[in-house]
Amino acid sequence: MGSALSPLRRLPHACPIGTLDDPPRGLTGALLALRLRRNRQRLLLRAFRRRGQLSALADRTAQIAAGDILGFSCVRNEAHRLPHFLRHHRALGVRHFLFVDNASTDGTAGLLADQPDVSLWHTQGSYKASRFGMDWLTWLLMRHGHGHWCLTLDADELLIYPYWQTRPLPALTDWLEQQGRTSFGALIVDMYPEGPVSQGQVAPEDDPLAHLGWFDAGNYQVQVQPRMRNLWIQGGARARAFFAAEPRKAPTLNKIPLVRWHWRQAYVNSTHALLPARLNEVYATDGGELTSGVLLHTKFLPGITERSAEEKARGEHFGDAAQYAAYYDRLTADPVLHCGASTRYTGWRQMEALGLMSRGGWI
Amino acid sequence: MTGDSTLGIVMLCHADLDRAAQLARHWALHDCPVVIHVDARTPQDQADGLSAALADLPDIRFSRRSPCEWGTFGIVQATLDAATLMLAEFPAVSHVMLASGSCLPIRPVHALKAHLAAHPHTDFIESVTTADVGWTVGGLNEERFTLRFPFAWKRQRRLFDGYVALQRALRFRRRLPPGLVPHLGSQWWCLTRPTLQAVLSYPDRPAIDRYFRRVWIPDESYFQSLVRQVSNRIESRSLTLSKFDYQGRPHVFYDDHLHLLRQADAFLARKIWPRADLLYRTFLGPDGDRALAPEPNPGKINRLFAKAVERRLKGRPGLYMQSRFPTRAHGSTRSAAPYGVFSGFAELFDDFQPWLARALDARVHGHLFDFDRVQFAGGESVFKGGLSDSPTLRDYNPRSFLTNLIWNTRGETQCFQFGPADEQAIAPFLASDPNATIFAITGAFAIPLWRSGRSAAEVRAEAARLQKVESEFIAQLNGPEARASIRIWSLAEFVENPAEPLEQLVDALNPRAAHRVSDLPSLIPLQGFGAFLQDLRNQGMAPVLMGDFPADAELAQPHQSLPRPRIVR
């Protein structure tokens, strides 16, 4: 089998600017399609097998109506972020949230179970063994997401897109459907405060962006991985401050959080990529621009230093935990991310002018 | 309009019937009879709900339902049926407006009536000959009328495309009905009663209808062609604002377009997003009269839509991001703005960078691709946009590094030094970037070696390596992929008369320089360099890139002033 698949090896791992070609055809294309299909089936099977790890604490899924936009998240100790997270995405038009609580100890479960538009599942399972929560979410997506536009986010991500203050998500999804698109990309932008990251006070009801007012505007490295045609964007404040020695390990910043779901679809690697691979083409390859958004990343709220120390001890994060030890150490050391080249956030039009997102043809 | 002449509305609906009901009620309350056609594919209960919602209004009728698939004759059939019913049921109707369930009146109904009363015999219908339309999509223009289109474009795309290709290959052409001149235009018209009557009772109607059943998108050509046969006063414009994207899909208006719609010079607009509550509330409310803008500014709307099409199709050149990543075939090696690359200059002139910054009014960096550190101008450790001076971050993706740098500094010309001692991975991109202007003095890399004070024997290997790297760079600049503007001198050529090349590069990068270059950077004294080259030769290396460098002692220091006064521009 290995030798039969050799044409695939000729595909580069990642294509920088100016080196991407059209998708492979012929034998290579057929072999690639077969392999991706097998991967997808494997992911779906994994999710199906792990469904037993979830126990429902509040199942309000009977409320879900046809056409509703659904939110999916896996959380752990996010009681501090969730009130604003819920408020922001409710206002955008998410009609029902489906949460997996992975063994929180800070009252997250109670907070979520009290919300009228939240269904909540609990699990003590290993975050890492469940592909960082994706197996659980894949099962919920399969079970409840089919036929809906589904917004899969972490609790420290706030979605913005062109005109988001005046046009709710259904306007965006209607537009995407009219364009024949069923997936929507967004770039994670790390937001950080002016001083050391542990300083300041942000109450759960506060808008975290009042405190996290700054970001890196123009240091994002773009590549496309030709097998799944997915983007691989790294950069931003974390790459600059923590990964200068090992840029390859810097966090991936491209996500595809909003997808019109079909039960046969599966996220591959967080929400950075999914299968079938055509859903990963959230970019125009003809020189034009497609509509895209930004995920404002509120990771660097004051609790970050303790949390990083804990994450490191827990060893449940991406990749080889030992590789990330240095990263967590630097975070625990309370760094200042702000610098003379930082940009103050003013809104989506600024993000668009800076080239971090685009209206595309949407007026 | 007076009591004996009225405006009738033919309304084609297929979804969001609650909005359609709201619109029909609005028209009816303003004394406009309405005939509604509901797409046969819409569920019966929804259609029943619509008639129930309007049951209290006397002047509303429902016409026979036919399926209205996009691009097919069903839409024309629906229009014909509804128009026939309108003329039969409401003898007082003098004008008939064709609208849809998502066409919102953006000016008061009385203003529309006044406009029609002022032009009682005019038919408002966009009607353009096929030779003159520039907006059809898919390359199908005249062929809409000369080929057959039995397949649905949206559902049966392959059959559609295949059948078109087959007919083209067979050179098949349909015969047009005698006398008919094909015209195209917006689907949404407003016709006078006599004109509409003449179309409906056109002598060859059955033959005409048979013909149009196989025309593509007949709703944009049936009435548009036939009115040319029967009307004697056509104003070729639609009273309905309707914009399409580059693929012919209608644009949708949202709440935040309120201000824009107030500036439109049309009376209706489509499509309105069904959940644009503010628009419906504003334009259908009792205060709708106040929605009238003092001065229409349709140019603004057109510019906005043209810009959106450009953004979708061309994007912002030089920007590489999450929703713009052109393939190799689509000209993807291009940065956002012109910039200068200088090879060998900083080695030959001690104060080259400050001089260049003065002469060009530009940001002049050192060796951006230096192995040890990114030498940003002013020695900054983090440059605009958050670019780090870490060479590993840069080398992880040098193309993103460079395109980001140029993108981040739009509006300010960037210049940087580049040489064989630098990281070379960016070289192919530089050579193929049409925005790059590259000036190279070949062989200048030997000057720092010579000045290091080390013997020729010690630096021989290093000199040979640098020469090899530089030769490869020069080969790329001369290669078939090169799109940059490139000027190359050998070191010997350059030192013979440095003033002229320096003038050239100022002209190339800052053609509108307000101030003339009055001084030149100071060339480092080269006495002894010829001997150094000879030593390298004696050590067994062949220094070729420097050109025919004069054998030492007699080397005159070239004079340092400009040969002639420059004209101030």
> Per residue in B211-220, pLDDT tens?
999 888 899 8
Instruction: Give percent above pLDDT 70 in chain A.
Output: 96
Q: How many domains does chain A have?
A: 1
Say yes or no: A245 contacts chain B, CB-CB below 8 A: yes
Please tell me the predicted confidence (pLDDT) of residue B295: 66
Out of B256, B315, B399, closest to residue A289 by CB = B315
Tell me, yes or no, whether B28 lies in a domain.
Answer: yes
Please tell me the predicted confidence (pLDDT) of residue B136: 57
**Are B227 and B355 found together in one domain?**
no
Tokens of B123: 């038919």
Partners of B330 on chain A (C-beta within 8 Å) are 285-287
Please tell me the predicted confidence (pLDDT) of residue B561: 45
Tell me, yes or no, whether B149 lies in a domain.
Answer: no
Out of A185, A187, A285, closest to residue B326 by CB = A285
Give the C-alpha separation, A328 to A322, whole Å: 10
Tell me, yes or no, whether B306 lies in a domain.
Answer: yes
Instruction: Answer whether residue A323 shows pLDDT above 70.
Output: no
Please tell me the predicted confidence (pLDDT) of residue B129: 86
Say yes or no: A219 contacts chain B, CB-CB below 8 A: yes
| B224-276: pLDDT as tens digits | 999 999 988 999 989 999 888 877 788 899 999 998 998 888 999 999 999 99
Tell me, yes or no, whether A335 lies in a domain.
Answer: yes
Instruction: Answer whether residue B449 shows pLDDT above 60.
Output: yes
**Are B309 and B338 found together in one domain?**
no
**Are B71 and B129 found together in one domain?**
yes
Highest mean pLDDT among A301-315, B168-182, B385-399, B543-557: B385-399
**Are B431 and B477 found together in one domain?**
yes
Residues 6 or more apart from B435 whose CB is under 8 A from it? B318, B334, B335, B336, B337, B338, B339, B406, B484
Instruction: Answer whether residue B2 shows pLDDT above 50.
Output: no
Instruction: Answer whether residue B63 shows pLDDT above 50.
Output: yes
Give the C-alpha separation, B498 to B518, whole Å: 14
Tell me, yes or no, whether B434 lies in a domain.
Answer: yes
A66-70, A76-80, B1-5: the lowest-pLDDT one: B1-5
By three-state DSSP, how is residue A242 classified? helix
Residue with tokens 């709708």: B288
User: Which residues constitute the domain of residue A333?
Assistant: 6-353
Out of B254, B325, B429, closest to residue A222 by CB = B325
pTM value is 0.91
pLDDT, average across residues A157-184: 96
Instruction: Answer whether residue A1 shows pLDDT above 60.
Output: no
Tell me, yes or no, whether A262 lies in a domain.
Answer: yes
Name the minimum distance, in Å, from the CA of B245 to any CA of chain A.
8
- Closest by CA to B533, choosing from B519, B523, B521, B544, is B544
Please tell me the predicted confidence (pLDDT) of residue B445: 94
- Closest by CA to B242, choosing from B291, B189, B289, B311, is B189
With b for 16 or more beta-carbon neighbours within 10 A and e for fewer, the A160-189 pattern comes to bbbbbeebbbbbbbbbbebbebbbbbbbbb
pLDDT confidence tier of residue A313, bands split at 50, 70 and 90: confident
The chain B residue lying nearest A248, using CA atoms, is B396
**Are B303 and B362 found together in one domain?**
no
Tell me, yes or no, whether B500 lies in a domain.
Answer: yes
C-beta atoms surrounding A27 within 10 Å: 11
| A206-257: pLDDT as tens digits | 899 999 999 999 999 999 999 999 999 999 999 999 999 999 999 999 999 9
Tell me, yes or no, whether A361 lies in a domain.
Answer: no
Give the C-alpha separation, B93 to B35, whole Å: 12
Tell me, yes or no, whether B145 lies in a domain.
Answer: no
User: Which residues constitute the domain of residue B220?
Assistant: 6-134+180-313
Tell me, yes or no, whether A360 lies in a domain.
Answer: no
Tell me, yes or no, whether A358 lies in a domain.
Answer: no
**Are B207 and B287 found together in one domain?**
yes
**B449 in Cβ contact with B462 (< 8 Å):** yes
**Are B94 and B33 found together in one domain?**
yes
Tell me, yes or no, whether A78 lies in a domain.
Answer: yes
**Are B402 and B282 found together in one domain?**
no
Name the average pLDDT for chain B: 88
The residue that leads in pLDDT, B10 or B546, is B10
A/B interface, count of CB pairs below 8 Å: 213
Give the C-alpha separation, B157 to B422, whole Å: 53
Give the C-alpha separation, B98 to B107, whole Å: 16
How far, in whole angstroms, is CA A166 from its chain's centroid? 23
pLDDT confidence tier of residue B138, bands split at 50, 70 and 90: low
Please tell me the predicted confidence (pLDDT) of residue A321: 63
pLDDT, average across residues B135-145: 68
**Are B47 and B85 found together in one domain?**
yes
Domain's final residue, options B258, B278, B313:
B313
Give the C-alpha separation, B49 to B157, whole Å: 34
Length of chain A: 363
| B154-211: pLDDT as tens digits | 788 888 889 988 988 888 888 888 888 889 888 999 999 999 999 999 888 899 999 9
| Contact between A361 and B246 using a beta-carbon 8 Å cutoff | yes
Instruction: Answer whether residue A67 shows pLDDT above 60.
Output: yes
**Are B450 and B499 found together in one domain?**
yes
Length of chain B: 569
CATH value at residue B546 = 3.40.50
C-beta atoms surrounding A191 within 10 Å: 25
The residue that leads in pLDDT, B487 or B157, is B487
Name the average pLDDT for chain A: 92
The residue that leads in pLDDT, A185 or A199, is A185
Name the minimum distance, in Å, from the CA of A165 to any CA of chain B.
9
Tell me, yes or no, whether B166 lies in a domain.
Answer: no
Phi-psi region of A186 (alpha: psi -120 to 50; beta: other; left: phi over 0): beta
pLDDT confidence tier of residue B288, bands split at 50, 70 and 90: low
Partners of A254 on chain B (C-beta within 8 Å) are 322
Radius of gyration of chain A (CA): 20
**B418 in Cβ contact with B342 (< 8 Å):** yes
Give the C-alpha separation, B245 to B251, whole Å: 6
- Give the phi and the psi of residue A220 in degrees, each rounded to 5: -100, 130
Residues 6 or more apart from A155 whose CB is under 8 A from it? A73, A75, A78, A81, A82, A85
Instruction: Answer whether residue B553 shows pLDDT above 50.
Output: no
pLDDT, average across residues B444-470: 92
| A282-298: pLDDT as tens digits | 999 999 999 999 999 99
**Are B342 and B298 found together in one domain?**
no
Give the C-alpha separation, A165 to B151, whole Å: 41
Instruction: Answer whether residue B88 shows pLDDT above 90.
Output: yes
pLDDT confidence tier of residue B567, bands split at 50, 70 and 90: very low
The residue that leads in pLDDT, A211 or B71, is A211
Tell me, yes or no, whether A68 lies in a domain.
Answer: yes
Out of B325, B380, B403, closest to residue A283 by CB = B325
Tell me, yes or no, whether B160 lies in a domain.
Answer: no
Among B residues 386-445, those touching chain A with beta carbons less than 8 Å apart: 386-388, 390, 392-393, 396-397, 399-401, 403-404, 407-408, 429, 432
**Are B377 and B482 found together in one domain?**
yes
Q: How many domains does chain B have?
A: 2
Say yes or no: A242 contacts chain B, CB-CB below 8 A: no
With b for 16 or more beta-carbon neighbours within 10 A and e for fewer, the B528-546 pattern comes to ebbebbebbeebebebebb
Tell me, yes or no, whether A363 lies in a domain.
Answer: no
CATH value at residue B67 = 3.90.550
- Closest by CA to B346, choosing from B548, B523, B196, is B523
| A84-114: pLDDT as tens digits | 999 999 999 999 999 999 999 999 999 999 9
**A211 in Cβ contact with A195 (< 8 Å):** no
